[in-house]
Structure formats: C-alpha cells, structure tokens
Structure 1
Amino acid sequence: MASTTDSSAPPAGPDGRAPATGPGGGDRPDVPEREAASGGPRRSLGGRIGSVEVLASLLVLLIVFRAPLAGALSAPRLQTWTTVFVSVLVQAVPFLVFGVLLSAVIAVFVPRSFWARALPRHPALAVPVASAAGVVLPGCECGSVPIAGSLIRRGVTPAAALAFLLAAPAVNPVVLAATAVAFPGAPEMVLGRAVASLVVAMVMGWLWLRLGRADWIRLPRRPELDGASRGAAFWAAVRHDVVHAGGFLVVGAMAAASINVLVPERWLQTLADSPVLSVLALAVLAVLLSICSEADAFVAASLSQFSLTSRLVFLVVGPMVDLKLISMQAGVFGRRFAVRFAPATFVVAVGVAGLAGAVLL
C-alpha cells in the first residue's frame, strides 16, 4: 500500500510544524539565526554604536566630570568667550532668518524671466542696473549664487548676473539695516558699505565683459527645485539657506569670540596701529571667517581695536569673497570660473573699500 505522505516535504521540527522555506524551496533561516550570521542585533555590544549610545556616554561623562567642568566654565576667559559668542548670535539671527525668508520668496515666486525683461539689452548698461537690482534681494550670498545661475540660464548676460551676485548680499535693505544697528554711532559705515559694494560689483561686471570667456562658466542647475511646486520649492530654498548660512554664522561667531579671547591684545593692537596691515588683516579674516552678510556687521563691530576703514574693508570683502562663497561658485559655475573670479574680486574689493574708507570715514 502506497504511502500518502509526500517524501519531498521537509521533516517537521521539534514542535511538530514544518520549517519555513525561502524562494526555491530552501530553508529560510530564523530571525535569531540571521542575527547570529550578521554579528548579532544592531544595538548589541558587538553592533554599530548609534546616536543614542553616544548621547548616553556624553551624559555619563558630564555627570562624572561635573566638578572640573563647572570650574572651567567659571573661568573669566571662557565667560568672555561665551558673552561675545552669544551676543553676536542674538543680534544676527533675526536678520539672518528674515533675509533667508525674503530671499526664498523672491527666488521662488518672482518669475525668473522677469530679470531678463527688466535689464537693458546692452551688456555694459545691464551691469549697473543689475548691481542696483541687488537692493531688492534681501538675502545673503548663499541665496545670490543660485539666483545668479538662474539668471544666466534665462539668457541674462553673465556680466550682469555676476554684478548682481556681488551686489545683492551687500546692498540689500536687511544688510544695510543690520550695519546701521551694529554701528549706531557711525552712520557713514552704511553709506560707505553701499557705495563701495556697488562700485566693486560694477567694476567686476565690466571686467568680465572685457576679459571673461563664456567657456569659463558651467551653466548651473538646481535639480531639487526643478518640477517642484512653489510651496515645496520655497521650503527647500529656506532649508538650504538656513543650513548653510546658519552653520557658517555659528562658526563665524565662534571665531570672533576666539579672536577676542585667545589672540593677545598687543598683537591685535600692533595690526590695528598699521593702516596697511589692519586693512589686509581684516580682508583676509573676512575670507576665512565666511560669515553671512546679514551677520558680519556685528562681528566687525566687535573688532573695536581696528579703524573704521579696515572694518569697512571687512564688510565689503566678506560678502563677495569668502571660503563658502568660493566653494559655492566652484560648484555652481565651475572650478575654472572660481579660480579666476575670486582672486580678482578680492583685489578690487580691498582697493575700492580702502579708498571709500579714506574718503567717507
């Protein structure tokens, strides 16, 4: 008598049930077996350490070393550092947020073709008009770079778009208002910053018309905004600018506080006493700190050892040539563009701002 049991069926397990099978009829390992094969559960002692474990370790260290940490935090130098750092952030953050929001509104809701229709057809005349148009863009250089790229894609001459890129972060109402707040006793700083920045932007635009080459620019693209709704594009632009500008603002505030605490006063005074060295020192410092243009006036105001002229150079150079701006220009327009445009802008900005300071301050 033939058996009715299928001889190919897998034998029953100890509990009387057949084990699960995977694709192709093979035995499927149970969950504990999979964990054993992969080195155990993810949060086991042998697994990868996650953020929860790191946070718990930090809390334990803070508890264990709370006494020496309390003594270190009460040191006068650290208290001074904290005071300068917090004061820079508290004064700058409202201007930064306001500027990022308005910049995103203009970038998303104003048609890109509007700029091409608003500018004169002659490139030499379009440069000063584009520079003056920076007044209507309340944002930092983080927003002006992609907008300048959009202008070039829409047919705006590169000279005009680059003039707009340089002028917008320095002559818009938010930045000028922040400068007035940071220098309440020196209203000429606002005028000097606006005039010098406009002149630098126009000079660089005209220099590009004379010396620039089209193959130095790689046409930009913002794939995260292409095809997105206006609401999604708006919040994407806000998140992008807040992350970049806010992060560099924190770094700049930390650097400014560190300079006030770590650098000996006699060193700063030696640089400040020399008109040439003070200008060059703050120009290089503006490049290295990479502070958002809505916040750099408060950092400049904290460098009270230096003359108004050298601090004006700091305010003019920073929004046009700094490390984050150079990296953004290289990413948007190409490396061949950045290695030529940034050094030329630095030289022109230092010269024009120094001359403006000598005349207006």
Structure 2
Amino acid sequence: MPFNLSLAEREAAGLRRRLPAVDNVNGRQLVSQGKAYLNFAGNDYLGLSQAPELIKATAHAAHEFGVGAVASPLVVGHHAIHRELEAELADWLGLEAVMLFSSGFSANQALIKALLTKEHTLWQDRLNHASLQEAGLLSPARMQRFAHNDMAQLAAKLKPQSGLIVSEGVFSMDGDQGDWQGLSQLAAHSQNWLMIDDAHGLGVLGKQGRGTLSEQGIAADSVQVHMGTFGKALGVSGAFIGGSRALIDYLHNHARSYVYSTHLPPPQAAAILAAVRVVQTANQPREQLQARIAQFTAGAAQLPLTLMPSTTAIQPLLVGEEQACMQIANQLRERGFWVGAIRPPTVPKGSARLRITLSAAHSKEDLNALLSALAVGIA
C-alpha cells in the first residue's frame, strides 16, 4: 500500500519517527525501559511537572469535582475551577478575558479559522509552529509568509486593515525571540491585528514570568490576540487564548474545536491554576534556568559546536545532515543523555539539529556531563 512505501522512504532517509517507550519523565530525568537518562529533550523549563503544589491541587480537585468535565464548555462542562483559572490568567497577563483549550494546536487552529475570512490576509513568520502554518492553509484567508524576523519584508507585504500578523514569542525549533518591537509598530501603523504564540516564553521570560512581551517591554494591549500553553514552563498541558472581551465572546460562538469538544478535566485546570500561582513567584527557578543557559552556551563555545543564536532554554545544535544527527543522538543516548534529534519536515532540509532543552531542575554537574558527552560524540 502507498503508506508502506512512504514509511520505507522515510526510514532510508533517516526521517522515520517512532514513539519512545517512556516509563517516567520530569525536567531533569527520563526513565525508559528501566534505564535512567538525563533529560535534555522536554519542555519542563522550571521543573514544575512534579511539583508538590501541582500534585496536591490535582488530587484535591479530582476528589471534589471528579476526573472529567462531562461535556463541552457551552453545555455543562465549564466548572467553577475553569472560571477561576481564566480570571487569574487574565489578571496575571493584563488581559480583559481568557478562554481555555485542550492544546496549543487546537487553540491556534480554532482562532485562525474562526477569525479570518476569504477577504483577509494572514501574514506568518516563515518559522512559525506547524499548528499556525496548517491553520493558515485550512483557513479561507490568503496566507503570506515572510522571512524569519524580517521586518522590512513584512512591511513590504502588508496592506492596511486587511488581516492578522502572527509570530511566535520564542521560536520552538530555533530558540530565538520574535521582534516584537518591530511587529507591534508595523501592526499599529498598518492597522492590522497582531497575534503572539508565546508557548515557549510564558513562565520563563519577563516580570513574574509574563512572557516575551514583558521581557521586551511591549504592552499587552499592543497585541490583540494572545496564545499560550500550559505544557511547557507550567508543567501541565492545555492552552489559552486571551484578548478583549469582545474577541473571547466571539470565539465562544465561532471556535469550533472549543464549541464541540469536552472541556479540560477539572483536576487539570486545578493543576494549571496552581502552576500559575507558583510561576508568578518563581524568581529563583528562573534565575537558576538562566544560569544553566549561560553555563551551556559558554561551555559549548569552547567546543567545535555550531549553536544557533539563542538566549532561551531551547539551545539548538546544528548538525545539518539527517543521518549524522541521528547518529549523534543515539551516541548520546548510549551514554545516558536523552536529546531530541529534529529533522525535516519539522525543520528545513539540511538543517537537522539536536534540540537541547534546559531546565531549572538541571544541576551544574548535569550540564558539565552533557558538554563532555557532546565533545566525545562529535569528535
């Protein structure tokens, strides 16, 4: 059958994906088939996935509300714990209103398909996440992509009052930040709406972990649509869209994946709420994470490594060729280090990389051990 041929071709090119058999995982350690590894592949940037406060909140909510929301939010699935979480998120991030989704992929698809018509244009950074790119392809709007963080090219493409500009806060495969000063100025000048996907900035950047906009000194109301996820620095899962009350009311009626999906389980909402409260005062873990980032980049600079320019927890090591990337990842795994090998189509052909992600849960010794293993693996 055709799909068998497709898998064979991917296997031969070193591009076939397989589900790892994971027994347990947190910000620092991963256990697979009984063997422990240092985990440099996850997104648990503050090490909160095993935090006692989150576990306690989850257990309490499960006892009080049960384990399921029972229905979609517009039927009977929107519980008191969901309302409390939405209110706290809005207050933390300086937004009028917030709504919850089961995943960032779902949130991005729902927003773009609900908001844009064939009369609109969607401008996307070329390195935006797959959920945003696919939503653009499925939307009736015309989609135009601009070169990564290229404000001059975007300015040349923009038409006044005709659509939505979308960029990530921290780019998930490159680790660099969007140019939000440039984006907000272009959006304001052209009177187009602006959207941020801050999945990888929320919790780790800015005052009280408010994210990329706070880090770069951009007012929240300069951006009309805010999307963030709970499965990275907050250590749980799920996502939100925030903005004006009018926007959220509109999406309550037009975002199909929200209208027709069972809501987040109440224990999950309780865990997210606990994470939001922890993150707002998590200055020490954020400082710890920054120390690990500085340690890794300084150590890598002493080795023949090609690191991409990133100051965030995502530290991509460019390899180039797909088979070589897999070989290095496998060598690291044999030495007890779990590192993600990212290959096409997730990244452009010829830019396969090790996506090394750091956590506040990592120690100095963990980073020294990884750097030593990399020195051997690339020799």
Q: Which has the higher strand share?
A: 2
TM range (shorter): under 0.3
- Relative contact order higher in (CA < 8 Å, ≥ 6 apart): 2
TM-score, normalised to structure 1's length? Answer: 0.27
- Name the larger-Rg structure: 1
Q: Which has the higher helix share?
A: 1
TM-score, normalised to structure 2's length? Answer: 0.26
